[in-house]
Amino acid sequence: MRGPRILRGYAALVYVFLYAPIAVVVVLAFNGGRDVLYWEGFSTKWFGEALGTPEITNALRLSILIALGNAVVACVLGTMLALALSRMRAWARVPIDALAYMTLVTPEIVFAISALVFFVQAGSRLGVESPLGWHTILIAHVVFNASVVALVVRARFVSMGQTLEEASYDLGAGPLSTFRQVTLPRLAPAILAGGLLAFTFSFDDFVTSFFVTGPESETLPIYIWGQLRFGVTPAINATAAMMLGVTLLAIVFAYVVLRRSGQERDKAALPGV
């Protein structure tokens, strides 16, 4: 009995080490004083000050637009990739599968440097003096998050089987009608969950965005990093707390969607099929 207790104690210390700093930042975001190290009363004024700062609102707007665009494009490409891989023969599926999921296991710093080299070389070949900007951030995020969406959608597609699709073909429906009326509605929860995860990963990404951004394309994580060089302020704490809130809402929503879709799939499963 002593061993499991020690392991639980170590696990608790690890969680405290990881999440205590985040909790401190969130708590101090509601501090009424200007000193970020001492509590001087509860207040929400720093959230209003953060939202009233043009630099913060512009960076927030750009981050949201890039994250939304990334989520839409990643959902389309990731869904197409998931459906294609599920129907390919093994000799063609294995190398493409490995290439797609290599994006997920590659260290982000390596991915960011590779994306930077690619965009700079592509810009020089096309004669573009400054190829980096919001569009390069969007492209880099889509490359990564398309694999995330493909992973989620493919798991859903494989688990739901081919029975209803085969029944649709037997009743005379074509491939497009079957996809629109049978496959897509069943994949919709997984696509939505993958899109929410893609939005989250893009919204709070720093490393990749930092390497491929341009001088006039400052996302919210990059803005926070730039301000931290001059010291932590209550407005920065409030901004970080708002980012955390948006990220947690998207993750929780994605979890709820996947869980409900799984429960509905279990209830609708036919015995013996």
CATH of the domain at 200: 1.10.3720.10
Domain that holds residue 94: 54-268
C-alpha closest to that of 192 among 105, 260, 136: 260
Exposure pattern of 119-137 as b/e (b: 16+ CB <10 Å)?
bbeeeeeeeeeebbebebb
The answer as to whether 47 is a domain residue is no
The answer as to whether 17 is a domain residue is no
What residues contact 132, with CB distance under 8 A and at least 6 apart?
A: 116, 119, 120, 123, 212, 213, 214, 217
State pTM to two decimals: 0.83
Q: How many domains does the chain have?
A: 1
237, 25 contact by CB (below 8 A): yes
The answer as to whether 14 is a domain residue is no
The answer as to whether 46 is a domain residue is no
User: In tens digits, what is the pLDDT along the chain, a chain of 273 residues?
Assistant: 566 778 888 888 888 888 888 888 888 888 887 777 778 888 888 888 888 888 888 999 999 999 999 999 999 999 988 888 877 777 777 888 788 778 888 888 999 999 999 998 888 888 777 788 889 999 999 999 999 999 888 888 887 777 777 777 767 777 777 777 777 888 888 888 889 889 999 998 999 999 998 888 889 899 888 888 777 778 888 888 888 888 888 888 878 877 776 666 555 554 444
The answer as to whether 23 is a domain residue is no
